[in-house]
Amino acid sequence: MLGPLGNYKSYRKDGMIKWWDFAYLNTIARSLVGIDINEELISVARDDGYPVIYGDAENFSGSYDLIYAPDLIEHLGNPLRCLKCCAAALRPGGLIIMETPNPNGINYLLKALVLGNASAIHPEHTCWIDAKNIEELARRAGLQVEVSTYTPLNPYGKTMFLRTIVYKALTRLRPMLGAKLVFILQS
């Protein structure tokens, strides 16, 4: 299993790195390796006992049953190159699981309404990926979208009680307003 790809920076908070993805995946995978381009965070991961190597999500090799890359694709200079690389590294019957912020999510729509734009996004994002984009990118990479769904809230963000109730109600009515787009690809 390959995962998480290049995902350590997003878990850095108050000088701590949260490895819950890796910790969980390590309990279900026969073998697991992560890749990242940040050598400092790779060192921290290794010190915490996680098998992480230096690598580029747009140019890696190997053979994997599952590639898990949460909150990565929106940071890449060439998302299609990443998907083609994942497709080449995927074993027959294998899966690619990715998630990305939903540009049509209620949180970004509210920011646009209140602030006049949705510019309060991560400064390292290079693009927005929506369900139609991922269908086309997957097709070009020789992959099929098996599942494309939305999560109601950003699991990493702070949530207030009232906001949680409103978000859950709105996303129950209109799932495409969810905070995250999660998709599963297969060759």
CB 175 within 8 A of CB 148: no
45 within some domain: no
Range of the domain at 157: 56-186
Residue with tokens 């915490």: 48
Question: Does this model's pTM top 0.85?
Answer: no
CB 6 within 8 A of CB 36: yes
153 within some domain: yes
46 within some domain: no
For the ranges 20-24, 25-29, 35-39, 130-134, the lowest mean pLDDT is seen at 20-24
Count of domains observed in the chain: 1
**What would the pLDDT profile of 57-91 be if each residue is shown by its tens digit?**
999 888 888 888 888 899 899 999 999 999 999 99
64 within some domain: yes
CATH number at residue 142: 3.40.50.150
156 within some domain: yes
26 within some domain: no
**What would the pLDDT profile of 87-135 be if each residue is shown by its tens digit?**
999 999 989 999 898 888 877 777 777 777 666 667 788 998 999 999 9
